[in-house]
Amino acid sequence: MPSPVQHKTSLAEAVHLKHLIHNSADGALIINNCGDVVFANPAAEQLFGRYGNNLIGKPFGFPVVDSDRTELDILHSDGTMCVAEMRVSEVPWDGRMSFIVTLRDITDRKQREEQLRLFKRAVTCSNNGIVITDATQHDHPITYANPAFERITGYSVEGVVGCNARFLHEPEPTQPEVEILNKAIREQREANVVLRNYRKDGGLFWNGLYIAPVQDEEGNITHYVSIHNDLTDLKESEQRGRLAAQVFENTTEGIVITDLEAKIVDINPAFTLVTGYQREEVIGKNPNILNSHWQDLDFYKAMWNTIYNTGLWQGEIWNKRKNGEIYAEWLSICTVKDEQGKVVNYVGQFSDITSRKKMEEGLHHLAYYDELTRLPNRSMLHENLRQAIAKSQRYGGKLALMFIDLDRFKIVNDSLGHHIGDLLLATVAQRLKDCLREGDFIARLGGDEFTVVLDNFTAKQEIATTAQKIVDTLSVSFLLNGQEVFISCSLGISVFPTDADTLESLLISADSTMYRAKELGGNNYQFCTGNALIPAKERLNLENDLRPLRDRKSSSPQKR
């Protein structure tokens, strides 16, 4: 049985122990032999996020073994996790041997350790060379280099530690960028330069170099960190780009680049020389501004099917310059793909082969055919009429000449634009062809005037049937680039030799009759009547008198 003195000493020690535990900055729990918590200090309450009365009497939940230190994860009452360093030792508590568990929150330390581990991993795995030098020593020797530095330079990590990094540019120590770098080091600041450095095997490489000082807690610079980036491929790519740009700017072939929506994003000077369009006039536009309408829709469908399937199309095409001139070009269109193999652009490269085409096809076609509608022109009409009249005189047959003028064409052309007007004329030409028999002749005189020559007919009714067919066909609406357009025509007919006996008088007679059809409101045909009795010279004078009136054609829309 302990003496009173021993009992008083033990009680004092117990009180002192409780005081120490209660005021400890570390969490402290007293665990009995059953594994239940019998005491928790304020630090433990904060660590678990629970008041002591919510801890005392509850199982501790972790093995309690007398040990130096153990790490365990603790779930806070707010759902967050923290890491604690646990130490366990036996202590007497209220007359019984129990265990005191001290818990030190090391969450921040563990996070810093994890960050440090990740930083080390990032430095080790970086594709950029990373070098650390000692700024406290005179020559700033290398103290660390990562594997990427070895891959970039060819120097082993072990071989460069203790050396100054100047060995990389020793063959060219007078580079201006070297002085920029040295000045930054002297001034203890960051620097970013591009150097011509040399690998261990002597090969030149472009080194993008960034250096930054590292300070200790007192603000003293202790180290420099440098990041090395091999820019050789980029520099070579830039050089190839400069060469490509020079070719782009100076080649005699026109080049046009579009996006996937067929909007022009760039052209070269040769494009302007060939087409007449300045750069600012075409950027954002569709290359179909050059469309001459000499190729039909099937042509373009086949062309783009080839491009989609093979990535390349080459061929001959007729386009239209800004001034309206039709020209021939040899065109190549190819796709441009990104690194993932996705098409991102189309590039068209073309050369003007009009001169060659003129030599190949001869000047005959250009002299005798209309460029827009590809119909015979006025010169070809006169040639055809001479031959037809001579044949009629020889064999006693007849021929009919129709003059056709489009009603409301000027309104369409002025309101919807010349490109729609051109498309309308080309479509009218096709409709006229569809109205005629094989062997009938059709020509465009210019503007919105067309002519038709019929022979091999036996009755006037055949002429009337064809004329009515033309009037009806041209009164049907036209759908042009999504725009519905309505026109009609005025048609005059003169028959050789009944109405006129010479080429000139036949032309004047048909033209005057056409004008009479227009005076009657348009959208009709008329046969020559009184004009047949007027001598050719008088008809010519009449035509000259009527010409100013024709120049003031009514452009008001007809009621339909």
Q: What is the pLDDT of residues 243-287, one digit of tens each?
A: 888 888 888 899 999 999 999 999 999 999 999 999 999 999 999
pLDDT at 542: 53
- Quick check: is 328 in a domain? yes
Q: Which residues pair with 31 in a beta bridge?
A: 37, 99
- Quick check: is 559 in a domain? no
- Quick check: is 121 in a domain? no
Q: Above 90 in pLDDT, residue 241? A: no
Q: What is the pLDDT of residues 301-336, one digit of tens each?
A: 999 999 999 999 999 999 999 999 999 999 999 999
pLDDT at 352: 93
Q: What is the pLDDT of residues 457-467, one digit of tens each?
A: 888 999 999 99
- Quick check: is 560 in a domain? no
* Element (DSSP H or E) covering residue 328: strand 326-337
- Quick check: is 353 in a domain? yes
Which of residues 359, 390, 412 is at a domain's end?
359
Calculate mean pLDDT across residues 524-553. Answer: 59
Q: Are residues 132 and 259 in the same domain?
A: no
Task: Look up the domain containing 151 and give its range.
Answer: 126-235
Give me the CATH number covering residue 526: 3.30.70.270
Q: What is the DSSP string of 340-363?
A: TS-EEEEEEEEEE-HHHHHHHH-H
Residue 161's closest CA among 185, 136, 178, 140? 140
Q: Are residues 409 and 545 in the same domain?
A: yes
Using only C-alpha atoms, the chain has a radius of gyration, in whole angstroms, of 48
Q: Are residues 260 and 167 in the same domain?
A: no
Q: Are residues 468 and 377 in the same domain?
A: yes
Q: What is the pLDDT of residues 412-448, one digit of tens each?
A: 999 999 999 999 999 999 999 999 988 899 999 999 9
Q: Above 90 in pLDDT, residue 470? A: yes
Spatial separation of the C-alpha atoms in residues 88 and 521, rounded to whole Å: 114
Q: Are residues 495 and 449 in the same domain?
A: yes
Q: Are residues 394 and 300 in the same domain?
A: no
- Quick check: is 244 in a domain? no
pLDDT at 553: 44
Q: Are residues 528 and 381 in the same domain?
A: yes
Give me the CATH number covering residue 201: 3.30.450.20
Q: Are residues 400 and 529 in the same domain?
A: yes
Which of residues 201, 235, 269 is at a domain's end?
235
Which of residues 169, 201, 235 is at a domain's end?
235
Q: What is the mean pLDDT of the chain?
A: 86
Q: Are residues 262 and 297 in the same domain?
A: yes
Q: Are residues 390 and 502 in the same domain?
A: yes
Instruction: Give the model's confidence band at 22: pLDDT under 50 very low, under 70 low, under 90 confident, else very high.
Output: confident
Q: Are residues 57 and 191 in the same domain?
A: no
- Quick check: is 332 in a domain? yes
* SS3 of 18-81: HHHHHCCCCEEEEECCCCEEEEECHHHHHHHCCCHHHCCCCECCCCCCCEEEEEEEEECCCCCE
**Number of domains, the chain:** 4
Q: Are residues 83 and 175 in the same domain?
A: no
